[in-house]
A and B are shown apart, each in its own frame.
Chain A
Amino acid sequence: MSVIDAAIRPPLITGGKTYADVTADICRPLENKPSRLWWIGFSVSFFCLMILAATLFWTVWTGIGVWNINKSVMWGWDITNFVFWVGIGHAGTLISAILLLFRQKWRMSINRSAEAMTIFAVMCAAIFPMFHMGRIWVGAYWVFPLPNAFGSLWVNFNSPLLWDVFAISTYFSVSLVFWYLGMIPDIATIRDRATTKARKFWYNFFSMGWTGSVRTWARYEVVSLILAGISTPLVLSVHTIVSMDFATSIVPGWHTTIFPPYFVAGAIFSGFGMVLTLLLVARKVLNYENYITIGHLEAMAKVVMLTGTMVGLAYITEFFIAWYSGYEYEQFAFQNRAFGPYWWAYWTMMGCNLLAPQVFWFKWARTTPWFLFMLSIVVNVGMWFERFVIIVTSLHRDYLTSSWVMYEGSFIEVGIFIGTFGLFFTCFFLFCRFLPVINMAEVKGILKNKE
């Protein structure tokens, strides 16, 4: 037998689908004219993308002074948004790589869109460190080890910020390779169904001559497994290194050894929040309720609850350790976080990340789509505030009281953030329009009724 599967397990794909049904259902949105809903969504996203272009242009044209960051709070919305977007990316790799290693078959209907989300989120994230350097045109040799006219004066490999450059660019390119490789069989399926000349040409071009030969499949499976194997430590390393941007600096509130696991858990938490947001809409709009079933939603809700509780534990541990360390600067930093001028941000974070996901102890909450959608938004908001709290509350009270300041994002900073949502959703809408959102080949492999 080809698939060893216990008969008592409920099917992962409902609706009694056959192989032909899978192909037809998944190809339908990209073979027909886009719906009204698609055009509305795409237009709004594209408008936001234009906001991104305008605000970034203004930042570069006028200078970094259009942001409200200052000498004490030198990282504000920019790095908050960077960490927010990188974190969101992590769920994609977790679903496609870690769940593959754990042989979790439910990942198969959601891994494609989650990986797409990873790639688009990392693109959004990369904007912030690039532009926060101010002079973007010299950014290339500030961040990459490129020969330059100063010596060459190379980049500093002792700096965690440089590790981050390597981590993010590796993460982006490896995710892209993994995503594309997994999509080739499906592109070939679309190629063989294509009717117009343009579609035939482009899907043929990107299918790279795929035939579905058993020899190719055998290699493909080995390659997928190895890519999953190397993506797993990669995804853990990326947010670990992001956390080191903070943890290796001697700033009270940042200088914490629990940052790496705490950030990774937070990243998976926020990523699953975003996956839920996207898929709850996609399964409705694209009519994929039989592929992304309530069972899938429930499994994701469980991950959200687990990782939410993990970050909650980390918040409490930080607080405890600050007290236990007997180090008054650390103690002050945490008191100031919870009860200082940014108390509202701290308690929003606590409420959204630790308390809200606890409703997933109840089955009703895990299996009701509209409720899950609301909770997924809450998770996204909470995780943005987590980064804001970590960055801004640790910086705005410096050692010297003369350096104490308050910070709020300027119009331009908010515009850039909204703009990155535009970039993200524009990419996602285009992805839904031109590429199969669900991995047809893998889903065909897990159908229960073999017709």
Chain B
Amino acid sequence: MFCFSTSINKRNLIYGVFDNEVNLMSAVEEVREKGIEVFDCYTPFPVHHLDTAMGISRTRLSIAAFLCGLTGFCLGLLLQFYMMVFDWPMNIGGKPSDYHMLPSMVPVVFECTILCTAFGLAFLFFFRNKMGHGVRPDILDLRQTDDHLLIAFDADTLNHDSKNELKVILNKNGVLTTHEYVGQYAVNQGGVHA
């Protein structure tokens, strides 16, 4: 997992706009073959295997999910043991209120496990993506959530030669336009269809 910030704030980016994921995918592969790192791609729908093509390692959220589930499992057991066995044992219909009641603890333990997994995972997902209600989105192009796909590069990591090389590769793979993003405004750099 990459640990640097992926926010576009205060960054100089070069980005290309594509209208289909096949071209985007081949552009990513070709760019990476030349040793140029992709800063990020923005797509309106999940493009499978694009993350591996960009060299992003698999998220560890699945491990976190297991730990959340384990927590829920323990909390469920603790809740029932505390209430039914330690704090106030009750004899209702002659049913046990000691460890013999383990089988009837299963449903509640199960539900607690699921509940903690789902909520823990959702919160971690938001946390990991720095998502939250009212967070201002870093949108480069309004079409990136509609019908266009964006590929972005950190301009500060590229020298003059690799910038030119990059543009050749993007044009070869059918980029619609390329733009430069400096802080808050974007400059049209031209492209095959510009």
Contacts and interface: CB of A to CB of B under 8 A. Distances in A.
A219 to B, nearest CB: 5
A189 B44 contact: yes
A160 B107 CA distance: 9
Contacts of B50: 2, 214, 217
Contacts of B59: 218-219, 222
Contact of B107 (A167, A217, A451): A167
Interface string A426-451: 00000000000000111011000011
B125 A181 contact: yes
B43 A23 contact: no
A1 B61 CA distance: 26
B111 to A, nearest CB: 4
A158 B92 contact: yes
B2 to A, nearest CB: 7
B54 to A, nearest CB: 6
B108 A151 contact: no
A20 interface: yes
A155 interface: yes
A179 to B, nearest CB: 11
Given A153-B88, A173-B119, A177-B118, A212 B44 contact: yes
A428 B130 CA distance: 31
Interface residue SS majority, chain A? helix
Contact of A167 (B19, B46, B111, B134): B111
B132 interface: yes
Interface residues of A, number: 72
Contacts of B107: 160, 163, 166-167, 237, 241, 244
B193 interface: no
Interface in A388-416: none
Interface in B146-163: 146-147
Nearest to A206: B133
A381 interface: no
Contacts of A153: 88, 90
B21 A450 contact: yes
Contacts of B74: none
Interface size class of B (residues with CB under 8 A): 35 or more
B131 A441 contact: no
A335 interface: no
Nearest to B132: A208
A156 B122 CA distance: 30
Interface in B109-132: 110-112, 114-115, 117-119, 121-122, 125-126, 128-132
Interface in B132-175: 132-139, 142, 144-147
A159 interface: yes
A226 interface: yes
Given A23-B147, A170-B111, A215 B6 contact: yes
B43 A217 contact: yes
Contacts of A145: 79, 83
Contacts of A63: none
Interface stretch (A111-119, A227-235, A264-272, A357-365): A227-235
B36 to A, nearest CB: 16
A442 B45 contact: yes
B41 interface: yes
Contact of A215 (B40, B87, B112, B133): B40
B104 interface: yes
A213 interface: yes
B192 interface: no
Given A192-B142, A216-B129, A234-B111, 5 more contacts: A1-B22, A166-B107, A204-B136, A208-B135, A211-B145
Interface of A: 1-3, 18-20, 22-23, 145, 151-160, 162-163, 166-167, 170, 173-174, 177-178, 181, 184-185, 188-189, 191-193, 204-223, 226-227, 230-231, 233-234, 237, 241, 244, 440-442, 444-445, 450-451
4 closest A-B pairs by beta carbon, nearest first, are A209-B135, A19-B147, A218-B51, A154-B83
